[in-house]
Amino acid sequence: MVPPTQTPASLGYRMPAEWEPHAATWLSWPRREGISFPDSFDRVLPALRAMVNALIESEPVCINVCNGAHEAEARAVLDGLPIERISFHRIPTNEPWCRDHGPIFLTRDLDPKLAVVDWDYNAWGNKYPPFDLDEVVPTRVAKFLDLPVFYPRMILEGGSIDPNGAGVLLTTESCLLNPNRNPQLSRGEIEQRLRNYLSVREVFWLGNGIAGDDTDGHIDDLARFVSERTVVTIVEENRDDENYKPLRQNLARLREMKLDDRELDIVTLPMPKKIVREGLRLPASYANFYIANNCVLVPMFADSNDQTALSIFGELFPERRVIGIDCRELIWGLGTFHCLTQQQPAVK
């Protein structure tokens, strides 16, 4: 543990952008008895296998499991894949959403080059207890990797922030300012924690998230940096859809934002058509993509806009293989590839 008077920013650390080189991708394997995929656990396994299969061509994959039996279940699903690219770690979790409960990694040029920020975690505003195992995952990963740990004493999920790696971060008011997270902290105090612990100088705020998003509006379903000054953001073309107005408002905010006195470069992504299951609208979004070293994983929904989304990502990432994977079962858990993954930066 690092003395609380020393913050990552004061020690020269920063949170890299997702497109910077990775040493590995971390996952938390879902538990059959978990709550994320009610009555459909077996139906999500093909998508998980496809995700790991794509990732191991790009970088090693580290998978958190609860015990030997849990590891055996995961190995059975991944049977036939190059297992030397996969490592299993006895770090138990409640649910599989590693983006939100996993470690936020920081880098710097001095030794130690890598560090972990362990934000407090309360399962998206105490919605899904228990979350005691998820809450301590970052420190357990840091212990395994023998890394220093910083404790901001603020609730934050990884899916609620998106940095450009050069001092700017995107987030949403509906999530970070929600009283179910940090009611004791003002907007200014939250911004200061982000500056101190992620080394950002500017925080760009969007408004509300998409319908069906139980995270209260994570940025990784809305708008993402794909370069230091380029943002890809979702838009809804159907004026009768409940997402139309909030997404237009977010687009208007992005158009007003300036980085070094210049407007952001904005690329718009379509939304898939409304998906409803058992009376619940699901937060399907192409913005929940994941950037690995050699590929970009894009959620697909058997929708007419799937190919349009893939073409846009192909133009944005010409040096990476763009891989679309059917996520119609995964989204029943209210998240897809970005929600499931957490990148460990490579260090020189």
Active site residues: 339
Q: Starting at the earlier edge strand, list the strands of the sheet with 104-107.
A: 104-107, 114-117, 149-150
The DSSP H or E segment spanning 250 is helix 244-256
Please list, in sequence order, all residues whose beta carbon lies within 8 angstroms of the beta carbon of residue 114, skipping any fewer than 6 positions away: 105, 106, 107, 145, 147, 344, 345, 347
Distance (Å, whole) CA 24 – CA 21: 9
> What is the number of other CB atoms lying within 10 angstroms of the CB of residue 266?
15
Residue position matching structure tokens 């994941």: 290
CA distance 295 to 301: 19
Which one-letter amino acid corresponds to residue 35?
A: I
Show the tokens assigned to 170.
């995107």
> Residue 228 gets which letter from DSSP?
S
Are 58 and 291 a contacting pair, CB within 8 Å?
A: no
Question: How many C-beta neighbours within 10 Å does residue 104 have?
Answer: 24
First-to-last alpha carbon distance for the chain, in angstroms, is 23
- Write down the H helix ranges in 78-166: 98-101, 123-126, 132-135, 137-145
Q: Among residues 225, 229, 310, 263, which one has the least CA distance to residue 17?
A: 225
Structure tokens at 88: 């299993």
Q: What letter represents residue 163's amino acid?
A: P
Q: How far is CA 241 from the centre of its chain?
A: 25
Spatial separation of the C-alpha atoms in residues 99 and 220, rounded to whole Å: 10
Please tell me whether residue 325 adopts helix, strand or coil conformation.
Answer: strand
User: Which residue bears the tokens 């952008």?
Assistant: 17
